[in-house]
Amino acid sequence: MGLLKPVGILLAAVLILTGCGNESSERNQDNGKLNVVATTGMIGDLVENIGGEHVEVTSLMGPGVDPHLYKATQGDVKILDSADMIFYNGVHLEGKMTDIFEMMSKEKPTIAVTQDFKEGQLHKVSASEHDPHVWFDVKLWMVAAETVKEELIANDSDHEASYLENYEAYVQQLKELDQYVHDQINKIPENQRVLVTAHDAFGYYGKSYGLDVKGLQGINTLSEYGSKDVTDMRNYLVKNEIKAIFMESSVPKKAIEAVIQGAKKQGHTVKVGGELFSDAMGEKGTEEGTYIGMVSHNTDTIVNALK
C-alpha cells in the first residue's frame, strides 16, 4: 500500500483538528494535569514515572504492536491533537508518523526522547541510518529520562520540585536495573553469549552487556527477509552449535520457525529460548508491562536459556 495517500488524509485531519487544542488545554488546567501522549509503551512508562500525579499519559502503541509498521489512524490524530505534550522515540522508529510529528510540533511541544543523544551514543547501521532501539541500553535510557524531566519542567514549572524528585528516584531504579543486567549476563559462559532473535532489536543491549547479537531481519521490520536470510541463519546456528533462539512479542514467529526446522533437517536441534519483548512491552498491569519489568524479563529469559 502506498504511504502518500493515508498520510495526506491524516495531515488534512490535523489541519482541521488543530482548532480543538485550546479547549483541551483548558480541561487539563481544570484537573491540574498535563495531558501527555507517548508513541510507545516504553516512553509512556518513562513519562508516568517522572510526571507522577501531575500527568495523564496515553500510549498509542500497545502490547504486541510493531512501531516500524504502525500507521496512525484519524483517532490517533485526535488523541495527538488533544495533548498538551507529545513524546516520541525518534531515530525513525515511528517512520510512518514523521510528517504528523512535524505538523504537531508547530502547535505544541513535540519531543523526541532521543534528541539529546550525542552522535557517538547512537549505533550507525549505514551512512544515513541509526539503530532506534536505544531503550535496551539502560544507561542511554537515563539520558532519555533526563530529556523527559527537562521538558516537563519547561512546560509545567509549577511542579518542578516534584518532577525532579520523581526523576532522581527513577534514575536510581534504572541504575540498579543496569547493574542487575550486567550481573545476570555474567552468569552465562562467555562462549555461549550469543543472542539470536527475529529482528536486530538488541544491538544496544548486546554492546552494553557483552552479548553477540544476530537478527534474522535488520533493525527495521519493514525490511523483508528472504530464503537466503533463513538459510544463512540456519547455517550460522549449525556451525556455531547455537542451542537457543528467541521469539519476539511484536514480530511474527513464522521466520524463526523456518530457521528452527531448517537446522533440524541438518541434524541440529535448536530450542525456543523464550519470548522477548523488543519493540513493545507486555500487557498493562503485568511486570512486563513496565520498562524495568520488560528488561528484567528479557534478561532472565536470556540467561535461563543460555546458561
Q: What is the pLDDT of residue 283?
A: 96
If one compares 5 and 50, the residue with the highest pLDDT of the two is 50
If one compares 128 and 147, the residue with the highest pLDDT of the two is 147
**What average pLDDT does the segment 68-97 reach?**
93
Q: What is the pLDDT of residue 220?
A: 55
DSSP structural state of residue 130: B
pTM here is 0.87
Q: Where do runs of H (alpha helix) occur along the chain?
A: 4-17, 21-31, 41-51, 74-82, 98-104, 138-155, 160-185, 203-209, 227-239, 254-265, 291-306
**pLDDT, the chain, mean:** 88
DSSP structural state of residue 220: -
pLDDT digits (tens, 9 = 90+) for 137-180: 999 999 999 999 999 999 999 999 999 999 999 999 999 999 99
pLDDT digits (tens, 9 = 90+) for 37-80: 999 999 999 999 999 999 999 999 999 898 988 999 999 999 99
Within a 13 Å sphere around the CA of 286, how many CA atoms are in the beta-carbon half? Answer: 12
C-alpha cell at 190: 562467555
C-alpha cell at 39: 508513541
Separation CA 246–CA 273 (nearest Å): 5
**What average pLDDT does the segment 26-40 reach?**
79
Domain annotation for the chain: domains and CATH numbers: 4-177 (3.40.50.1980), 183-306 (3.40.50.1980)
3-state secondary structure of 7: helix
